[in-house]
Structure 1
């Protein structure tokens, strides 16, 4: 694995600026180190030979300025290094998330989605120490080390020869350590992703466990996951400590070797005191960048492994977008004929032979057992999943038939809204969540009467009346502060306010009791009167009974175990 992934420089602008800043800081630091060594040697040698300290006042002042400038440069590197690393990680995380969203439901397997979540949460954070600690030392090793070695050669060729002979031992041992830790770092990244996916699975199922009173059941499993995480972290720290110890010992012995030969020659009068002091001050500085590269090498392996995983995710080909604008769905008909969708890891297709027609002003319900392809069929209509066989097309008012795959996705999505069985609510106010599908520039300009009417139709008016602040009351992530049924009704308000012709409802009564589901039935009647095209996925026959057309998944897919 290269020390610097060139894809970071090509695709992430903050990384390019940071490398340029680091190189400039490295060059400036090198000049200051040389100036510091020369000034310090002049002052110490002059005082040793009996010169008046006052006569060297200018050199002492210059030395103080050099030391102060080095401190300022170190502060600049530390401050802007952390900031730039945060920007790089944020942009890369945004790119990966956007790419994953563009892949859609059909472009990512279940394991792929879990790996993507682990990558954008914990995985990419490993780039932070790589960028803020390892990369500056790498640039310094490339710029500072040869420059300082050239200065030592100018002052004392023999000492430069000793350094030149011992210096390659540092990257040699780094390579040996790297060969030992590379596979271990990759394994630990996989381990952390697996542990993260297991924790995510537990968190996703936690509301169900709480509802069933079994929230303490996974305690032993969580404890084992914590122990496994601790062991993985300890292994990482142990490897980093031993790697640093090996390189620290090697560079210390190398500097000591230079000091011994300089001291012996100084003792026999073959070397001047000033030159000896310059060499002794510069020798540790020559080794320091390489030593720091070795110290932070573990950060580089973890960071580059995370970057490689991110670019691998970005390298997944996106589904081809269409070239034709979607027709006006207020007058168009959507038809699915003999549609087949195959799934990874399953022998049966689901759906398998689905035929479905969606007309404006009608409500079509799909019913049937779990696993028969109802949600997948809804995703086909939403143009989130491609079909493997059959026909999925839209027929405009003139009778022109266009396959969904040939439509520009954005022109299709602009005309629809989707209520999932687990609706997404964002941190903010109830009003903000209700108007999340509003596409106008000033969404909050929606008429209050219209907002209140939608709340009444969705049965959400009592919730607004009971909470302090009304529509301005705030909710947390995923609707924290609301019950599951209240979140479902708030999402239904959002659908009623959306200016979308095609409405897809996936299990809209999943979290509602028998009384409250009457609200959804009333909402379906309202959508029908508004002339919307409605597709409902539901297990409940009582909801399907209020649809204009009912399609049972038993007619297009055999239930699990029937084949």
Structure 2
């Protein structure tokens, strides 16, 4: 799938292990599910995405608890000392989360754009590394350097826009908190000069008031630091949502006869930001040899992925001997298909085990015949 044309302390350690286990469970849907995804997107999610969740669990969530409990405790103490100052604090504290939410919406959109750029860059770079031998063979390796540089520059611009919003948010929250403290400090000072309040009470109010706003300001800054992880988590949950009809299995499902006619009926395959195939109709009769040609990105790998059941069509259907591949036992169907990949791979086993890869229970006589037919004897 990486060569598809559709580019596109201890507590912390324990949390990291938990996040890693969640990530592993999410991608353990099987090879068929993995093959239907974009390799660059999966690699970015499983690496940078899970790492970016650490600030959310270890920073933002604990600070969120403090931003609720500390202001309430400070407010309760100031009510007992000076109820008028407590009233001002109670009226101004909601301003911080309100302004934070307004800026958070802008930060979320910017972070999503940044993440899309990162996923695109990661996918293209992964594809380029996977196809580097081919690129070198055709003298196209240096041309990809400019492409990667442009994509990296786009990610840099998106990152700077996100940081600009984050710094603006910190400035706004600091300004609101400072003005709110001033609204409490000025009346307290005037009343202290007039003898309306004792010095000890005034000092208590002035020392505790900033502490009521501090946890909320810190939560705002930690929220921006965790935005990338939340965006990655949302995309990971979207990617891992496997439709029930995507990979049907079971003895009760039919298995088409691989010797029958293969038909693609108005097949369309759409991804999030591109269309791989559009309204493709094709009939392959028994005994025919078909060559599928086209430039990189035309959808050749997607076409084969449909036939193997690794890709589910957005519209239309693929039938074999009149049976829709969307409602068959995929394992039984794939046992009838011979697949020779673009790059052959020998596994760390005996030659006989490699030959028996598709049929582990093949007898020695069949193995010997296969060896003779392939001129390996």
State the TM-score bracket (shorter-chain normalisation). 0.7 to 0.9
Residue 228 of structure 1, CA deviation: 2.0
Q: How does 1:76-475 map to 2 (within 5 A)?
A: 80=11, 82-99=12-29, 101-103=31-33, 105=35, 107-108=36-37, 112=38, 114-318=40-244, 319-324=246-251, 335-341=258-264, 342=267, 344=269, 345-349=277-281, 352-355=283-286, 368-371=290-293, 384=310, 388-391=318-321, 406-407=328-329, 409=331, 420-422=341-343, 434-435=348-349, 451=350, 454=351
CA contact (8 A) 2:60 2:222 kept: yes
- The residue that corresponds to 1:396 in the other structure is none
Q: Is the 8 A contact 1:383 1:405 kept in 2?
A: no
Q: 1:419·1:495 contact (CA, 8 Å) conserved in 2? A: no
- Greater relative contact order (Cα 8 A, min sep 6): structure 1 or 2? 2
C-alpha deviation, 1:164, in angstroms = 0.8
> How far has the Cα of 1:404 moved from its partner?
10
- Relative distance call for 1:151 and 1:265 in structure 2 (3 A) is same
User: Do 2:256 and 2:333's aligned partners in 1 also have CA atoms closer than 8 Å?
Assistant: no
Q: For the residues of structure 2 that align with 1:371 and 1:278, how far apart are their CA atoms?
A: 79
The offset of 1:177, in angstroms, is 1.4
Superimposed CA distance per residue, residues 503-556 of structure 1 (whole angstroms, 9 cap, x where no aligned partner): 9xxxxxxxxxxxxxxxxxxxxxx8843578x9xxxxxxxx9x969xxxxxxxxx
Structure 2, unpaired ranges of 5+: 1-8, 270-276
Listed as ranges, the matches of 1:458-497 within 5 Å are 495-496=354-355
Does the 8 Å contact 1:337/1:354 carry over to 2?
yes
Quick one: distance in 2 between partners of 1:407 and 1:214? 42
TM superposition score normalised by structure 1: 0.51
CA distance in structure 2 between the aligned counterparts of 1:131 and 1:417, rounded to whole angstroms: 47
| CA shift in 2, pair 1:277/1:142, >3 Å | same
Asked if 1 retains the 8 angstrom alpha-carbon contact of 2:93 and 2:213, the reply is yes
Deviation of the 1:251 alpha carbon:
1.1
CA deviations over 1:225-250 (Å, ceiling 9, x no partner): 23222222222222211111111122
Quickly say closer, same or farther: Cα 1:380–1:232, change in 2 above 3 A.
Answer: closer
> Aligned partners of 2:361, 2:302: CA distance in 1, in Å?
17
Instruction: Normalising by structure 2, report the TM-score.
Output: 0.73
Quote how far apart the aligned CAs of 1:163 are.
Answer: 0.8
After superposition, the CA RMSD in angstroms is 4.3
Unaligned runs of 5+ in 1: 1-77, 327-331, 357-365, 394-402, 426-432, 436-450, 455-492, 504-525, 535-542, 548-563
Secondary structure of 2:129's partner?
helix
Larger Rg: 1
3-state DSSP of counterpart to 1:388: strand
- For 2:148, what is the secondary structure of its paired residue? helix
Aligned residues: 348
